[in-house]
Amino acid sequence: MKVGIIGLGLIGGSMAIDLKRKGFASEILGVEADPVNAAAAEKIGLVDRLIDLEGCLEQADLIVLAVPVGAAVRMLPKILDRISETGADDKTVIDVCSTKEQLARCVKYHSRRDRYVATHPMAGTEYSGPWAAMPGLFDGHACIICDQEESSAKAVRVVEKMYETLNMRTIYMNSSNHDVHTAYVSHISHVTSFALALTVLDKEKDEKHIFDLASGGFSSTVRLAKSSPDMWTPILSQNRDNVLHVMDTYIEKMMAFRNAIDQDDEDKVRELIQEANKIRRIIR
Amino acid sequence: MKVGIIGLGLIGGSMAIDLKRKGFASEILGVEADPVNAAAAEKIGLVDRLIDLEGCLEQADLIVLAVPVGAAVRMLPKILDRISETGADDKTVIDVCSTKEQLARCVKYHSRRDRYVATHPMAGTEYSGPWAAMPGLFDGHACIICDQEESSAKAVRVVEKMYETLNMRTIYMNSSNHDVHTAYVSHISHVTSFALALTVLDKEKDEKHIFDLASGGFSSTVRLAKSSPDMWTPILSQNRDNVLHVMDTYIEKMMAFRNAIDQDDEDKVRELIQEANKIRRIIR
């Protein structure tokens, strides 16, 4: 099967590596709008061939849209238009974005909605671009498939097989629930890391102190603050209502802590920490 | 040299392992008030001998006070009293607590202040108790020695040698600066993790969803929320003013994010993320 990957960053590039290495793809066709990233992807050998979007839609059997979600919302309807025009009946299109509701909406009534499968492989690092791509990125992680009843059963099977090849566990939910849950278990932790980095950079003018004193705990908590603005600006915009709702809850919890510390209420501080400790039951 | 360790948890226990293994200590005497932890420390073999506090102060050359900082503030003056009574002139006492100013204050005018060296080995995990102790915990991390001019030069040299044995880099600062900097690079990240855990536990009533969907990013950001209330309640209390100051800055940064997202101001969100990205220059 020829796999076309549009966007050769961390996710698209890592998929290219493993789909070829594991024999799922006979050929990887890569589309990359940024000339520096395109040259890098070719040099690293992420793809068999660089190609333009038109050529990719024509030649690939499975098309992976791996661009930031803002661009994906603009591109997806046009990709389905083009596939409709060519009359091809067996092409499958997926996206790999972190928010799903607006994508679902922009193609809901498209005549070829059935060729599109909405997916979110929940794996990544805080790095981006073709240089960040790596084998095994998806191994053992969860992949969410959204609104699968709106895709053709055959297209869903192709995609399930692809994620099996990547060694991912598949979970099914609708795109609206997806966006609520990812606001809690992914988007908010990026926002808290960004805010932590801003706080420390603002107050610790002497970077040497941060460097000398930063323990493993701080590094792990602030790690996500290295994440790409190109990826995260549209995610926070597209999932705005859910993210705002979680942020409000988060700010409430911070204020509860703040007030307990301010009043030197050690019983309350202890109670809050003990409650927070329950995350042990869930996270390894 | 006989080393007495008071408190056989993560830090005390890990010190016991490496100081014996690397030949710095000829014998490790352990004091542990909690009978379950004492039995565990003996079973694991962290110490050569369990002993009571009185016996430890009498027999040990170097005494490591490795209890939560609230207990340390109560115990340290009494330990120096006892050493003063025995007339011993060559015993060294250290603590390993995460806040330093109140400890410094409680012994500032003690007649044997010179025998005490204030230290903070900046290493740890989110686990606690003797079971969490491990070899190599301190390897390559920073250790802060505070107010060293108030300790006898000989006592400081013993302690420097001990931390060299543990393969730590030593940094010197006064206890007041210590508490400001650790509020930024350690204490706030614990508070943000606690608040994140509380938020997710509060809103995601279905724990299965958290478990299924939690990516590596979420786990790394929330990891510190597993930390012990026995350790962190007194830290947040003793470093209250600094911690409140950092929390206020942090809440401001969260509000700036919240407002930019609320107004769908993508330029502002991007700018905040780009600013936060500067943490890359500092944190690996």
pLDDT tens for A30-76 read: 999 999 999 999 999 999 999 999 999 999 999 999 999 999 999 99
Outline which parts of chain B fall under CATH 3.40.50.720: 2-174
Residues sharing a CB contact under 8 Å with residue B11, sequence separation 6 or more, in sequence order? B66, B96, B121, B123, B124, B137
Tell me which residues of chain A, numbers 117 to 176, contact chain B at a CB-CB cutoff of 8 Å.
Answer: 122-126, 141-142, 144, 169, 171
A273 closest CB neighbour out of B202, B207, B229: B229
CATH of range A2-173; options 3.60.110.10, 3.40.50.300, 3.40.630.30, 3.40.50.720: 3.40.50.720
Highest-confidence range of A182-186, A220-224, A244-248, by mean pLDDT? A244-248
Tell me which residues of chain A, numbers 182 to 211, contact chain B at a CB-CB cutoff of 8 Å.
Answer: 182, 184-186, 188-204, 207, 209-211
Tell me if B199 and A275 make a contact (CB, 8 A cut-off).
no
Outline which parts of chain B fall under CATH 1.10.3660.10: 178-281
Residues sharing a CB contact under 8 Å with residue A18, sequence separation 6 or more, in sequence order? A135, A136, A137, A138, A165, A166
Instruction: Enter the pTM of the model.
Output: 0.90
Rounded to an integer, the average pLDDT of A137-153 is 96
Outline which parts of chain A fall under CATH 3.40.50.720: 2-173
Distance of CA A185 to CAs A122, A173, B264, Å? 11, 15, 22
pLDDT tens for A171-197 read: 999 999 999 999 998 999 999 999 999
Distance (Å, rounded) from C-alpha A210 to C-alpha A221?
Answer: 14
Q: Which one-letter amino acid corresponds to residue B37?
A: N
ipTM for this model: 0.91
- The CATH homologous superfamily for domain B2-174 is NAD(P)-binding Rossmann-like Domain (3.40.50.720)
Give B97's Cβ-side CA count (13 Å radius): 34
| pLDDT beyond 90 at A133 | yes
**What CATH architecture applies to the domain A178-281?**
Orthogonal Bundle (1.10)
Confidence of residue A214 (pLDDT cuts 50, 70, 90): confident
Q: Residues A145, A172: contact at Cβ < 8 Å?
A: yes
Closest CA to B133 of B255, B252, B259, B21: B21
Look at residue B109 in the predicted model and tell me its pLDDT: 96
| pLDDT beyond 80 at B213 | no
**Which of B131, B190, B263, B283 to probe by mutation at the A interface, max A CB count within 10 Å?**
B283
Phi, psi values for residue B27, rounded to 5°: -150, 140
